[in-house]
Structure 1
Amino acid sequence: MEITFDDITLRDYRLSDVKDEVRWTNEDTAWFYADTPWMELEPVDPDELREDMLQIISGLPDIRWRFEIETAGRHIGMVSSYYLDESFEPTPWAVIDQSKNARENHSVRGLGIEICEMDFWGRGIGGKALTAFMEYYRGLGENRFILETWSGNARMLGCAGKLGFTQVRRKKGAYTVDGKEYDGLILEKLI
């Protein structure tokens, strides 16, 4: 499946993407630490990742939970989604039936985005990718979206603000980065 929006494409994962994902996880990790600097990124084994991706590719659901982002002929990152309950707690994938009736029982769609190629940061690509992703789900009858971030993630906060997300929850001092406390934020958009 492919979705084109402006100058970006959201598309299904390809086996050729494994090389990028290995590099993003083992070498070019700035994207991860911009998003979650309090966590440690575990290196991946290329062969294990390839096997995992083959399984995912062979069993893609009708309703996608992840798309790769491509622009200017390059694979630069991904958008993904997950369900949250009314208290904004994650719903385990194992208990979710991806059918339309089951989706109606999970009222909040959490969204994630990673622009892993630093030379594409600050170009508005994240906003375009999230817009295309929300439009995909809107076409499936969903209209409520959540972003979870932290108060030190200026790029994500700027993108979310431009897209019309508003803060619905703030957890003071949720994260400590380089000895400084930051708040955990939940942002919401209804379309």
Structure 2
Amino acid sequence: MISISNSKVILRDFIESDIEKRISWETKHTEWKLWDAPWEFDNITQEQKQKKLDKYIEKMYALVEKYKIMSDTKKRLSFQICNKNNKYIGWCNSYRIDNEFLYSSEGTKCAIGIDIPDISYRGKGYAFHSLCLFIDYLMEHGESEIYTQTWSGNIRMINLAKKLGFEECSRKENSRNVRGKKYDGLTFLLNKVLYKKSKQEL
């Protein structure tokens, strides 16, 4: 298992003890789902939710086994976020998008996202410090461009992206339907000069 850290957070591999917390975030403390691709949770039945949860739990156990044997030198696509007291508070991940900024497993562009479900850890710099670590890690492992995506109603994520030095590069108007309202789908590209400046101001 590998971990990387700075003065604020620790990023590490997924471990078995994380599963209980993830299940809690999926079933009880779900406020974060209002912001992270909330359209994915619209109009699905309770039975469909349970099937998704069962599949998700299976995937998590498989992920634990995967990390047990994964070489420390192999590039990670995601990390779990802990505070400096090793309390598990969220995760950050990467995925591929194509030239139209759509998700694609064959996409050539790298996009990143983050979730900190525990409200008490928001607005205190944990997301900023986590993404700084993650961005540096990805660039050190060959990613020349880093993107992030959100929707126009997620003001916290938009502000975080701008603080890190991301600049809007694509806007798909009225492409997201969230709780009965239309929002724009946004894609941002990291400006490395602004990113470097933002880190110097820490």
- For 1:49 and 1:166, how far apart are their aligned partners in 2? 33
Q: Alpha-carbon deviation of 1:118? A: 1.1
From 69, 82, 101, give the equivalent of 2:81: 69
* TM-score between both structures, scaled by the size of structure 2: 0.80
Measure, in 2, the Cα distance between the counterparts of 1:26 and 1:162.
31
User: When you count helix as a share of all residues, which structure comes out higher?
Assistant: 2
Q: Return closer, same or farther for 1:18/1:149 CA change in 2, 3 Å cut-off.
A: same
C-alpha contact 2:167 2:191 (8 A) present in aligned 1: no
Q: Which residue of 2 aligns with 1:17?
A: 18
TM (norm. structure 1) is: 0.84
Residue in 1 aligned with 2:60?
A: 53
Distance in 2, matches of 1:90 and 1:183, equals 16
Distance 1:52 1:177, change over 3 A: closer
Q: How far apart are the structure 2 equivalents of 1:147 and 1:64?
A: 17
Matched length:
177
CA drift at 1:40? 1.3
Who is 1:91 aligned against?
A: 104
Query: What is the rounded CA distance, in whole Å, between the counterparts of 2:179 and 2:33 in structure 1?
Result: 16
The CA RMSD over aligned residues, in Å, is 1.9
Q: Any idea what SS the aligned residue of 1:116 has?
A: coil
Alignment of 1:32-43 (within 5 A): 32-40=33-41, 42-43=49-50
Structure 1: 4+ residue segments shifted above 3 A:
48-51
CA shift digits 1:95-149 (9 cap, x unpaired): 6xxxxxxxxxx54111011111111111121111111001001111212111110
Unaligned 5+ segments in structure 1 are 96-105
Mapped to 1, the partners of 2:18 and 2:133 lie a distance apart of 20
Where does residue 80 of structure 1 map in the other structure?
Answer: 93
Structure 1 residues 59, 178: closer, same or farther in 2, change over 3 A? closer
- Check the 8 A contact 2:10/2:86 in 1, yes or no: no
Are the counterparts in 2 of residues 15 and 50 from structure 1 also a CA contact under 8 Å?
Answer: no
Deviation for aligned residue 1:85: 2.1
User: What is the identity, as a one-letter code, of the residue corresponding to 1:130?
Assistant: L
